[in-house]
Chains A and B, each alone.
Chain A
Amino acid sequence: MKLSNKQATLLVLALLIAITPFFFPSSYYYRVGSLIFVNGIAVTGMVILIGYAGQISLGHAGFAGIGAYTCALAPVHLGLHPGLALVLGAVISAAMAWLIGRPILRLKGYYLGVATLGFGILVSMVLANERDITRGPDGIEVPDLGLRGLLKDMGLNLNNSEFWYGFTGLALLLGAWLALNLFNSPTGRALRALHGSEIAARTVGVDVARLKLQAFVISAVYASVSGSLLALQNKFITPDVAGYMHSIEMVTMAVLGGAGSVLGAIFGAGILTMLPQVLTVFAEYEQLMLGLVMMLVMIFMREGLLPSVLRLIRGRGE
C-alpha cells in the first residue's frame, strides 16, 4: 500500500506521540512533550501563513494572548465553561485577524513585518497595562478545564501531566490533519500559487486579497487555540504570551524546522522547545547557543532542518 504524503505525516506524528512516553524516565517529560505539542499547534498555523501563502507575521503571539486571556477571563466574567472560552477566544482572534488583516495584508515583506509587529505589541501592552481586568504583568490564574475529573469519573485515571500530554497531542493531530487537508484543497493550491508569484496568481484568476486574508485568519485561530491550551494547562498566564519574543519564537520554530511542511515545522517546535531544557546545565550559554543555532541552520539549511536531513538520508540511500 502506498501512503499519501498526508497519511504518512499523520501516521508518523501519531506514532511519535503514542510511543515516546514509553521512554520517559519521569513525568517531567510529559510536561515537555505537551509544551512541544502546544507550540506545534501555533507553528502549524505559521506553516499555513508562511509556508503556504508566503506572508510574514511578527505579531502572531498577539492572537495567542487573546486566546490565553479569554480562557482566564471569560469563565470569571461571563460564567463560560473554560472549554467554551477556548472557542470564544478563537472566534475573537478570527474576527480580529479579519479586521486588521484587510488593510495590513496589502503590505509586503518588511512592511507587513512591522505592521504585524505593531499589532502584537499593542495586544501585549493592553494585557500588561489594563490591571483592573488582566491584573497586569504579574499574570492571572486560569480556571481548571475539568475534563480530567470527567475522565476520572469514567474510570480513566490520569495524572495531570499525562492528561495534558494526551489532550494536547490529540489537538495537535487534529490541527495537523486540518492543515494537510487545506494543503491539498483548491484553496491550498491557490495559496501556493500566490506564494510562487502574487502577480502570476492574480493573472490566472486567483482572488489574492481574499486568499491572503483566509490564510491570516486561519493561522490566527491556530495561534489562539495554542495560547488557550497553554493557559489551561499551566492554570496561570502572564502577558509574555503575547510578547514580541513569543512571536519571533513561532516564526523561528516554523522556518527552522521547515516552513514548507507541517511535519518539518512541528519538528522545529520540538527542537526549540527542548533546547532550553537541555541547556539548563549551561544556563549562561543559552542565548549564545540559541543565536548560533538560528544563524547556522538558516545559512546552511535554507529549507529548514527536517527537509535537509531527509535529503541527506535519501542521498545516502541512492
Chain B
Amino acid sequence: MPELMQFLLSGVTVGAVYALVALGFTIIYNASDVVNFAQGEFVMLGGMITVFAFKAGLPLPLAALIAVAVTAAIGVALNKLAIEPARGAPVVSLIIITIGASIFIRGVTQLVFDKQLHRFPAFSGDDPIRVLGATILPQSLWVIAGALAVFVGLWLFFTRTLMGKAILATSNNRLAAQLVGINTAWVMTLSFAMSAGIGALAGVLVTPITLVSYDVGIALALKGFAAAMLGGMGNPKGALVGGILLGLLEALTAGYISSQYKDAAAFIVILAVLFAMPQGLFGKKSTDRV
C-alpha cells in the first residue's frame, strides 16, 4: 500500500503541472482557436527568469513575480506579432507558426541565459512529509495547491466577472461578440497574457523539484497538449482532469510496468479515449457547416 500511495502522490504532482500547461492551452484555444505549441516555453521562461533574477540578488517572491510578468508580456507579443497577422490561416500553418515560435524562444533563451540546468531553493524547505507510509515534498504541495488555485480562480473569473464572460462570448462567436460591443482584440491580449502567466507560474512552482534548462519546454508542451486533448480541447475542467489523469497514468506505469514506457502508456490511453470519444472526455459534440 505505501508503494501505491507513493506512486499516486508523485503522479498527482506531475499531473498538476500538466494540468497547468493544459489550462494555458485551453485559454488560448478558446479565445483564438489556436493550439499554441509554444506553451511549454512559457513554463521554461518562468523557471529560467526566476533563476537568473534570484541569482542577481532579488528576493525569491519578487524574482517569481518578475518572471510571471515578463512571460505574460512575451505571450502578448507572440499574439500581436505572430498569431494575429496569421488570422484565418489553416491549422497546419498555425501549428508551424507556434512551433516556430517555440524554437525561436528556445534559441533566444540559450543566447541570453545559458544551456545549464538550474534550480532555486524550495519555498518551504526540502524535508519530506510522511503521508500514510509514503512521502511527499513540501514543494509538491505548492504545485498541487497552485494548480487548484489557478483552476478555481479561472472558474470564478469565467463565471462571475464581466471580462470572463466577454472571453467566453468571443470564443463562442467572434463576430457576434464584436456586435454587442466586446473589444475582441483586448480579449485576445488578455487571454495570451493569462495563458503565458499561468505557464510561467507552473515553471516557478516546479523548478525546485524538476530543475530547469532552456530545452524543458518541448516535452511539457507535448504532455500538456495531450492532456488538453484527453480532457477535450477548450474545456477547463477537461484540462484539469486530463492533466491529473495523465500524471497518474505515467506514475503508475513507471511504478508497476516499466519506467521506460511511461510515456507510451499515456499515449496509448489517449489513443483509446479518442477512438471511443473523438472529442475527448469532456468535449462538446461539434457539427460542421458546409
Contacts and interface: CB of A to CB of B under 8 A. Distances in A.
A11 to B, nearest CB: 29
Nearest to B230: A114
B226 interface: yes
B96 interface: yes
B25 to A, nearest CB: 10
B225 interface: yes
A290 interface: yes
B5 interface: no
A104 B288 CA distance: 19
Nearest to B93: A298
A162 to B, nearest CB: 34
B222 interface: yes
A115 B274 contact: yes
A203 B270 CA distance: 31
Given A125-B264, A295-B82, A251 B96 contact: yes
A309 interface: no
Contacts of A58: 95
Interface in B244-269: 260-261, 263-264, 267-268
B278 A107 contact: yes
Interface stretch (A194-202, A218-226, A231-239): A194-202
Contacts of A288: 104, 107-108, 111
A205 interface: no
B89 interface: yes
- Main SS of chain A's interface residues? helix
A149 interface: no
B171 to A, nearest CB: 15
Interface size class on chain A is: 35 or more
Contacts of B107: 285-291
Interface string B189-230: 000000000000000000000000000001000100110010
A8 B85 CA distance: 34
A299 B278 CA distance: 30
A203 B226 CA distance: 33
B186 interface: no
Contacts of A292: 100, 104
Given A125-B260, A252-B96, A298-B89, A199 B104 contact: no
B103 interface: yes
B159 interface: no
B137 interface: no
A248 B221 CA distance: 14
B180 interface: no
A302 B91 CA distance: 12
A75 interface: no
A68 interface: no
B222 A302 contact: no
A298 B278 CA distance: 29
Nearest to A291: B104
B126 to A, nearest CB: 32
B99 interface: yes
A103 B275 CA distance: 6
B178 interface: no
- For the complex of A and B, the 10 pairs showing the least CB-CB separation, nearest first, are A291-B104, A294-B100, A287-B107, A288-B107, A118-B267, A291-B103, A295-B100, A114-B229, A129-B260, A291-B100
Interface of A: 50, 56, 58, 103-104, 106-111, 113-115, 117-119, 121-122, 125-126, 129, 197-200, 203, 244, 248, 251-252, 255-256, 259, 284-295, 298-300, 302
Interface of B: 35, 82, 85-86, 89, 91-97, 99-108, 110-111, 218, 222, 225-226, 229, 233, 260-261, 263-264, 267-268, 270-271, 274-275, 278-280, 288, 290
20 contacts: A58-B95, A114-B226, A114-B270, A118-B267, A118-B270, A125-B261, A197-B290, A251-B92, A251-B95, A251-B96, A255-B93, A256-B96, A288-B108, A290-B104, A291-B100, A292-B104, A294-B96, A294-B100, A298-B96, A302-B93
